[in-house]
Structure 1
């Protein structure tokens, strides 16, 4: 079962995703995409790791900032025959997107950074394909960034647009798409309006 979980900052989406994983399997694989660039991020990462360890749930944490598609394919191959597959939780895909955008910067052009769009879209397509092919319990945490103000700088606008495209593609291949608002998960697909075919 593939589940996309989105929401704003501090909406409760990660906590909900971890609780959902505990309902789906007796053990979990936590794929952390963040990179600790400074002391604050290192402290935050360590706090989350300790919280998972103290939860009493059997988490295996794998730090993978880039090759999430390849990791999902490997986990699919390794666990497909298991009697009880682990719940795999990827947290979070907007950080994964940020990692790739920063890696694929082409440098400065007229004062603004450019992104290698073809390579970025290839990475997104690889991820979507790996998610679509994953047959065990899979929870994907992402951020909803399109509801706020328009960023004042080009890279921020590009990130917002690419995150929206990524979320749409992933929602299309997931059985559930949940929006967490103020700690309350809302099932988007259950309430989705369907246009009638002409």
Structure 2
């Protein structure tokens, strides 16, 4: 089962576009309203931002056959999506599922002949939708909309997940219903961060930790469950601090565009090349691609630079983003690490790796350039043979000015060659622009 997070933010997202608080101004990525696309066929919530979010992440919604709404709040229900679908002349059946507060908003957005089936549910219901067994559970949310908000326990041959947004601390009936579930992944809302006086039916960090602990006690969360915080807002601390706090509960923040693969999902790309310019968000995106992995080896090719405090600060920020379970290896001898990988691997970055190889072979002083090409051959072969999920980060050099020096032009040309060869050996290639991922077509090698 693949769960693509189309949004991981609260109603106002994170950062809030009208806010200048520290959390908003220091945010390194934009989080849209929370929703997810499961296996390309099922939407968990569909607020007004969802259709465009799917397009930004290179996904079509043409294959969607089921939409599950949790409640009727406007960041979770965007009925215009049904009108967009109507305009395409779609003839495939679509199930629209949810409590009355959600479905009542949607019923007037479909044509009289549209093959849309509305299914009203309440907590305690169990329905079958295609390949999915859906259990409807009680939420602690939405008194202003009739108190009919629900959560979803979703299971197929590909795994089992718990979609728990929006809600405050879970009702006793829900804890009882999920006892022994042993979910592959739990997506639990965490809206209010360090702000504990909100007085709303949402989680703050303390309540989130308590809920996760309770889910562990009843066997809904196990040591292998991926616990992902969603519906995040600017009441949370910075990304690095939030990651550290959540890790105490064995959880992590979700990220927009992240594909969480659980159970029998085997079709996700295993080798992803992430390209981008300086400060484009390429490293953060590559980290998000592997965030669901139980263990990751981080191959840091930049090393340390004595007497360079600015570089040291960059390294500290990178390290702060990584979960404690990640192993960091600072090396430029990466080919063997790729070939022998037993769990996920992140190579960051190809530019510093190439610089180190050119230094090693004294290319700047007229040394053996053919040895660098041999190193590139070995790296690409090892990348292609890597037996574990892997992501590699590199600088995109095709859009800059022509370097003023011969050495600069040589480096640019070699990195361009390396990027092209790595792209040809990759399952997925992403170009980061201003923090936004653009999926590129992959040519056959």
- TM-score band, normalised by the shorter chain? 0.7 to 0.9
Q: Deviations over 1:156-185 (max 9, x none)?
A: 000000000000100011011110111111
Q: 2:349 aligns with which of 80, 83, 92?
A: 92
Q: 2:340 aligns with which of 74, 87, 91?
A: 74
TM, length-normalised to structure 1:
0.81
Deviation at 1:46, TM superposition (A): 2.4
Alignment correspondent of 1:59: 326
Once residues 367 and 277 of structure 2 are traced to their aligned partners in structure 1, the CA distance between those partners, rounded to angstroms, is: 25
- SS of the equivalent of 2:371 reads helix
RMSD over aligned Cα atoms: 1.8
1:30 and 2:287 equivalent? Answer: no
**Range that drifts further, 165-174 or 25-34:** 25-34
TM, length-normalised to structure 2:
0.37
1:41 and 2:308 equivalent? Answer: no
Deviation at 1:31, TM superposition (A): 0.7
Q: Deviations over 1:76-117 (max 9, x none)?
A: xxx2xxxxxx3211000111001111221256xxxxx33421
1:133 and 2:402 equivalent? Answer: no
- SS of the equivalent of 2:381 reads helix
Deviation at 1:41, TM superposition (A): 1.7
Q: 1:106 to 1:133 in 2, by over 3 A?
A: closer
Deviation at 1:51, TM superposition (A): 2.8
Deviation at 1:135, TM superposition (A): 2.4
Q: Deviations over 1:33-80 (max 9, x none)?
A: 00222332223212321332xxx462111111x2111221232xxx2x
Alignment correspondent of 2:286: 17
Alignment correspondent of 1:82: none
Q: Is the 8 A contact 1:171 1:177 kept in 2?
A: yes
Runs of 4+ in 1 over 3 A off after TM superposition: none
Alignment correspondent of 1:157: 409
Once residues 106 and 8 of structure 1 are traced to their aligned partners in structure 2, the CA distance between those partners, rounded to angstroms, is: 25
Q: 1:9 to 1:106 in 2, by over 3 A?
A: closer
Relative contact order (C-alpha < 8 Å, sep 6+): which is higher? Answer: 1
Q: Deviations over 1:118-173 (max 9, x none)?
A: 10000000000000101210100001012110000011000000000000100011
Q: 1:106 to 1:164 in 2, by over 3 A?
A: closer
Once residues 414 and 420 of structure 2 are traced to their aligned partners in structure 1, the CA distance between those partners, rounded to angstroms, is: 10
Q: Is the 8 A contact 2:339 2:387 kept in 1?
A: no
Can you give the 5+ residue segments of structure 2 that lack an aligned partner in the other structure? 1-269
Alignment correspondent of 1:110: none
Alignment correspondent of 1:114: 366
Larger Rg: 2
Q: 1:133 to 1:105 in 2, by over 3 A?
A: same
Once residues 48 and 131 of structure 1 are traced to their aligned partners in structure 2, the CA distance between those partners, rounded to angstroms, is: 23
Alignment correspondent of 2:359: 102
